A and B are shown apart, each in its own frame.
Chain A
Amino acid sequence: MSSVIRSVKNVTKGYSSVQVKVRNATSNDPWGPTGADMADIARITYNSTFPADLPNSSTDFYEVMDMLDKRLNDKGKNWRHVLKSLKVLDYCLHEGSELVVTWARKNIYIIKTLREFYYVDESGKDVGAAIRQSAKELTSLILDEERLRAERTNRGSWKSRVTGLEEF
């Protein structure tokens, strides 16, 4: 249901394919983002230069980050947007371009302030806990330059954090 509305919105709001990719990966669906989605998005963050033959690529990095930013600041009801964006950001910090690292450092307050995210869903469940935990881990990672460097070179040591997202 929600995915139908989303695909209509993707068209009516004129989102680019990059934006659609990020929106789908960070949607309200109770599954995902998949490893393949995250790997795609991480790859797109390298498209930040301006090669003459690829005129659109200069904006790709910013489109990814702006969409993640929007999702990270979403309201409580859309807590899945927030949680999934943290996961995608975590992934991109490891596998994405260096610009993602710079972006995260500069805008760390966006992530830091999610450490107290609080939302109780209709069934009375505190669904903010996973977001608080993720925000805490990401904040300390971003502040620990040495660890982030090590994790960016040593693939796999961090991946357990961004797997196991099949169901919320």
Chain B
Amino acid sequence: SSSRNVDLSKTEAQLSEHIRKATSIDETAPKRKHVRASIVYTWDHKGSASFWNGIKVQPIQADEIQTFKALITVHKVLQEGHPIALVEGQGQLSWLESIDRSVGGGEGSRGYAPLIKEYVRYLIAKLSFHRAHPEFNGTFEYEEYISLKSINDPNEGYETISELMTLQDQIDAFQKLIFAHFRNGSNNECRMAALTPLVTESYGIYKFITSMLRAMHRTLGDDEALSPLRGRYDAQHYRLVRFYYECSTLRYLTSLITIPKLPQDPPNLLADDENAPALPARPRHDEPVTKPR
């Protein structure tokens, strides 16, 4: 077997230690090392139950910073963890709702309450999208067979794109809220840390939508029917350009991730445009490429 020689002595106790440190009380980004250990654990054990149990027993709700860091950690595990995390995450909705209720109204003593509420709303929306569309992975990495699948059924394709666009709108609302909550005299690292998965996710969704829309235009040849989606696509393009521009001014972010560079104007979906994201090659195996590798 070519699998890793997983150290099974790495017990749940060690995982919960990583979770505890990722959600510590310090107003910083959740430490990548501990977030990564949680992600790797879900792959090694092909399960996320221990992660969910581990994070739920942490007393995170006593402190806004810890709550916010826990949500970032959850988001990262949903994105980068084993696909089972998205499935098992469906059982965590009431826990997420309890977090929403626990912060109450107002800004909260450190100003994180509105961010927590919006984050919970976003994660619930993400989870429900994935429940309806299990063919997408946590970061929406584009694979051509998805778009082929949807063109076969244009109605389903239309629906999927609309839902992705709704998710994209929610990311946009959330990122604006985060920027609006930056505080002078603070390094804002903890708030910026939430932007990292949002940049990844918004770009994944953007590439997906671009590719799916182009493929649908090519196959359907029905400009009229798709024109509402095109209008929405263009508007989202401009908002994303703005979002990425603002992220590119934050040194913390630019050192950590590559901020995507979009052309100023949206690509023409009806023509081949070299500035647009390329359509990847068709998978060469029977095996669907979004399967866990």
Interface size range of chain A in the complex: 20 to 34
Q: Are A107 and B4 in contact (CB under 8 A)?
A: yes
Q: A residues 113-154 with Cβ under 8 Å of B?
A: 113-118, 126, 129, 132, 136, 143, 145-146
Closest Cβ neighbor of A132 among chain B residues: B256
Q: Are B3 and A109 in contact (CB under 8 A)?
A: no
Contacts of B32 in A (CB 8 A): 116-118
Chain A nearest CB, measured from B182 CB (Å): 21
Q: Are A69 and B40 in contact (CB under 8 A)?
A: no
Q: Are A108 and B36 in contact (CB under 8 A)?
A: no
Closest Cβ neighbor of A115 among chain B residues: B257
Cα separation A116 to B34 with both chains bound (whole Å): 12
Cα separation A16 to B32 with both chains bound (whole Å): 32
Answer whether residue B196 sits at the interface, using C-beta atoms and an 8 A cutoff: yes
Partner of B39, one of A99, A106, A113, A132: A113
Q: Are A109 and B39 in contact (CB under 8 A)?
A: yes
Answer whether residue B145 sits at the interface, using C-beta atoms and an 8 A cutoff: no
When A75-B33, A113-B39, A126-B255 are in contact, do A106 and B5 touch as well, CB less than 8 Å? no
Answer whether residue A76 sits at the interface, using C-beta atoms and an 8 A cutoff: yes
Q: Are A76 and B257 in contact (CB under 8 A)?
A: no
Chain B nearest CB, measured from A32 CB (Å): 24
Closest Cβ neighbor of B196 among chain A residues: A116
Q: Are B293 and A66 in contact (CB under 8 A)?
A: no
Q: Are B256 and A118 in contact (CB under 8 A)?
A: yes
- Inter-chain residue pair count (beta carbon < 8 A): 54
Answer whether residue A62 sits at the interface, using C-beta atoms and an 8 A cutoff: yes
Answer whether residue B271 sits at the interface, using C-beta atoms and an 8 A cutoff: no
Partner of A69, one of B4, B33, B39, B281: B4
Q: Are B2 and A102 in contact (CB under 8 A)?
A: yes
Partner of A129, one of B43, B255, B284: B255
Answer whether residue B100 sits at the interface, using C-beta atoms and an 8 A cutoff: no
Q: Are A66 and B5 in contact (CB under 8 A)?
A: yes
Closest Cβ neighbor of A114 among chain B residues: B36
Contacts of A145 in B (CB 8 A): 284
Cα separation A108 to B4 with both chains bound (whole Å): 10
Cα separation A110 to B43 with both chains bound (whole Å): 9
Q: Are B2 and A73 in contact (CB under 8 A)?
A: no
Answer whether residue A168 sits at the interface, using C-beta atoms and an 8 A cutoff: no
Complex interface bits, B186-229 against A, C-beta within 8 A gives 1, otherwise 0? 00000000001000000000000000000000000000000000
When A116-B32, A145-B284 are in contact, do A109 and B43 touch as well, CB less than 8 Å? yes
Partner of A116, one of B82, B257, B281: B257
Q: Are A116 and B256 in contact (CB under 8 A)?
A: yes
Contacts of A76 in B (CB 8 A): 33
Q: B residues 1-50 with Cβ under 8 Å of A?
A: 2-5, 32-33, 36, 39-40, 43
Cα separation A112 to B81 with both chains bound (whole Å): 11
Q: B residues 214-259 with Cβ under 8 Å of A?
A: 255-258
Q: Are B3 and A106 in contact (CB under 8 A)?
A: yes
Contacts of B284 in A (CB 8 A): 145
Q: Are B40 and A73 in contact (CB under 8 A)?
A: yes
Answer whether residue A159 sits at the interface, using C-beta atoms and an 8 A cutoff: no
Answer whether residue A103 sits at the interface, using C-beta atoms and an 8 A cutoff: yes
Answer whether residue B80 sits at the interface, using C-beta atoms and an 8 A cutoff: yes
Answer whether residue A105 sits at the interface, using C-beta atoms and an 8 A cutoff: yes
Q: Are B4 and A113 in contact (CB under 8 A)?
A: no
Q: B residues 237-293 with Cβ under 8 Å of A?
A: 255-258, 281, 284, 293
Nearest 7 CB-CB pairings of A with B: A102-B2, A103-B2, A109-B43, A113-B36, A66-B5, A118-B32, A108-B293
- Could you tell me which B residues sit within 8 Å of A by CB distance? 2-5, 32-33, 36, 39-40, 43, 80, 82, 196, 255-258, 281, 284, 293
- The 8 sampled A-B contact pairs (Cβ below 8 Å) are A62-B5, A75-B33, A99-B2, A103-B4, A109-B43, A113-B39, A118-B32, A118-B256
- Could you tell me which A residues sit within 8 Å of B by CB distance? 62, 65-66, 69, 73, 75-76, 99, 102-103, 105-110, 112-118, 126, 129, 132, 136, 143, 145-146
